[in-house]
Each structure stands twice: as structure tokens, then as C-alpha cells.
Amino acid sequence: MRITEVKTYKVAGRGWPRYPWVFVEVCTDEGISGFGESTPREGVFEAISEVGKSIVGEDPLNVTLLFEKISRRGVPLPFISGIEIALWDILGKRLNEPIYQLLGGKCRDRVRVYVDGFFRGAEYRPEDYARKAEEVVNEGFTALKMDVDGPLPSMHRISRQPDKSDINLTVDIVAAVRKAIGHDRDLAVDTHGEFNLPTIIELIRKLEPYDLMWIEDPVPLHGGNVKTMAKVTSLSRTPICSGETLTRPQFRELLELQAADIIMPDVTYVGGIMELFKTAAMADTYHVPVAPHNMYGPIATMASVQVCACIPNFMILEFQWADVPWRDKILNEPIPVKRGYIEVPDKPGIGVEVNKEELNKHLVA
């Protein structure tokens, strides 16, 4: 079996025009093709196209060898993720097995998800957020995440020093959402590293009564702040979760310094299926659970599900609310999400096929 072509698709998904979904298709001379997805980043399409040309003629079933050859040339892992996932999809289809089976089998038949973006379209006010949260739990979801840096101008100051009134409003909104969803459901908050150190410590303290599942990215991930993250984590009684734009070497440092209680690698950023699997294994040696980040397209969601099904230290997977209405139409069947869980499909590869006719309607140049 040989690779004949690597195609990219720039899809105007939920984040468009801020960012596209980055779909990758690896084609072979045996008529089997695989789909993957990468994180949208500057230069990603050019990089995938260049790497794609370099692997034409290679055997797609040598997934690890191809990954090593590409990454040792210095290609950043987020650029490789889409190709790597597509190679696993091909391997699964060729062997007629789902990817989870090739990784050692399922630890679970369904993957718990939390809803991100339940607040889309709401004003940043307690009653509006509470109402939106109720809509989502009424659909059967048992876990939610909200952004608390929010649309408040003072929270995006260059000083990372918001007004006290904004901090208090944020606490009021979290309190209202907690009240709306009750105490038996999970609630996480994402701070996107928007606050300075004293402010985030104050906010964490003020949010403590609301029994949060986690507080995400209390300090910026970039800029060598792992020790600051470790300090915040040691001071916080609420679990700290981080890592959506980290790869395995950076997770090593995060784990060694005990800078996060939960990690959230993203299959489209970390380097694909095997890197997510290996990162989870590394975290497991620190007794740290894995809650994969997932905010792009449905291929990434279904690829994540394959790994989430088979890692023992899986916690919960992100799932996007208020997505584009055609999200499920570009797959041959809708994402099997039911009352807060995604059923693990038993079809080969990533478990879904892409409907190219529908996909072609949503491409941008």
C-alpha cells in the first residue's frame, strides 16, 4: 500500500472567520483514504502540503515510522497531527478495526463529555448565563464549562488587572450557574491566562464555594510560567487544568513540577492519536487524569473519542455547544452524543466517514 496524495480542506466551521477547521485526507493506491484534523495555526496548510508531498510513495501503515521521520525534520507537532490521525484511520480501515482496538481495546463503551460554549449568545449577566446553562442540562448533559474572562473590557487589559467590580460580577455569574445546574453536575471555568498572579489567586479563592470541576489556565501557558502555574496549583483547593497548546515534552515539565491536577492535551495539537495516548500514559504515572481539549471540527472529536475510549486515566472530553448546523451532515452519521456521553463507534478507523459532497459546500479558499 502506498500514499498517492495528501489533501487539505479549509472549512468555514464554527470559528470562521477567526479560524478555519483544518481537515486532512491521505489517499492511497488501494482506494482507502483516511481523514484527520490539525489545529488551525498560521502556516498550517502550507506545512501540511509540503509534508504531504514528501510522504507520497511511502507505506501509510508504518504510522510511527512516518511520524518520526516527519517530526525529526523539525516540523511542529500541531502540523503533523492531521496526517497522523489520517494514517491511523487508514490503518484501522485496512484491518477493519476501530483505532481503540489497535491501541489495546476499550476501557469504556461511552465517553463522558462536558459542554463548552453553552453561554454563546448570552449577555455576561448572572440571569442570562443561568438560563443558558439550564437549557444544556435539560438536554441531559451533566458537565459544563464557561469562560470567566468574558467580554468585559477590564479583563483584557495589557496589565492583566481587571476592575474589582468585574471580578465580583464573574463570581456572581458562576454562583448563578451553579445554582441553576444544582450540586450534582460538574462545572469548570476557563480563565485563558488573562489575569495577573494576585488577581487569579483572589479569583480562585472567591470561586472556592462553587465546587468547580477545575479552573483552566490560571496563568498563560506560553512564556515559561510553569513554576508560576505550580505555585497557583499548590495554593488552590480547586483542581487546576491546563495544556491545550502543549506537546509531550512540555507536559513532562508540567507534570514533574506538579503544575496541574488535570491535563488537557488536544489531539489536533499534541501530534495526533499516539502522542495523545503517550501523553496520557505519562500523566497516569503521576496519577493525573486527562480531559482532552476539543474545540474544532467533528473529525477531531471522533479521533479524540478513539483515544478516550482506551486510556485508563480518562476523565472527560470537551464537546462544543451551538456549533454550525451542518456539523453532523459532513459525517456519514451524526456524532453519537446522548445525554452527556458519546457512544464509542465500532466502525473501522476513527469510526466515521466524511460526506465530501456536504464538505465541499463549506470550503473557503
Q: Which residues contact 183 (CB under 8 A, 6 or more apart)?
A: 211
Among 116, 190, 275, 323, binds Mg ion (CB under 5 A): 190
Span interacting with Mg ion, options 60-68, 185-193, 198-206, 357-365, rule CB under 5 A: 185-193
The binding track of 64-103 with respect to Mg ion, each residue x by CB under 5 A or -, is ----------------------------------------
Residue 275 makes contact with Mg ion by CB under 5 A? no
CB of 244 to Mg ion, least distance (A): 5
**CA separation (Å) from 339 to 85, 94, 117, 294, 342?**
27, 33, 17, 18, 8
Closest to Mg ion by CB, 166 vs 190, is 190
Closest to Mg ion by CB, 33 vs 242, is 242
Which residues are bridge partners to 148 per DSSP?
A: none
CB of 271 to Mg ion, least distance (A): 19
> CA nearest 327: which of 71, 16, 80, 30?
16
CB of 117 to Mg ion, least distance (A): 11
The binding track of 113-132 with respect to Mg ion, each residue x by CB under 5 A or -, is --------------------
* Residues 306 and 351: beta-carbon distance below 8 Å: yes
CB of 4 to Mg ion, least distance (A): 37
Closest to Mg ion by CB, 147 vs 328, is 147
Q: Which residue is nearest to Mg ion (CB)?
A: 190
Q: Which residues contact 34 (CB under 8 A, 6 or more apart)?
A: 25, 26, 60, 85, 86, 87, 88, 89, 90, 91, 93, 349, 350
DSSP letter at 98?
B
Contacts with Mg ion: how many residues (CB under 5 A)?
Answer: 2
Q: Where are the alpha helices (DSSP H) in 117-265?
A: 126-138, 164-181, 197-207, 226-235, 248-256
Q: Which residues contact 46 (CB under 8 A, 6 or more apart)?
A: none
> CA nearest 337: which of 348, 352, 349?
352
Span interacting with Mg ion, options 50-58, 92-100, 137-145, 182-190, rule CB under 5 A: 182-190
CB of 241 to Mg ion, least distance (A): 8
* Residues 114 and 319: beta-carbon distance below 8 Å: yes
Closest to Mg ion by CB, 37 vs 190, is 190
> Which phi and psi angles does 320 have, rounded to 5°?
-85, 130
CB of 193 to Mg ion, least distance (A): 9
The binding track of 207-226 with respect to Mg ion, each residue x by CB under 5 A or -, is ---------x----------
Using CB under 5 A, list all residues that contact Mg ion: 190, 216
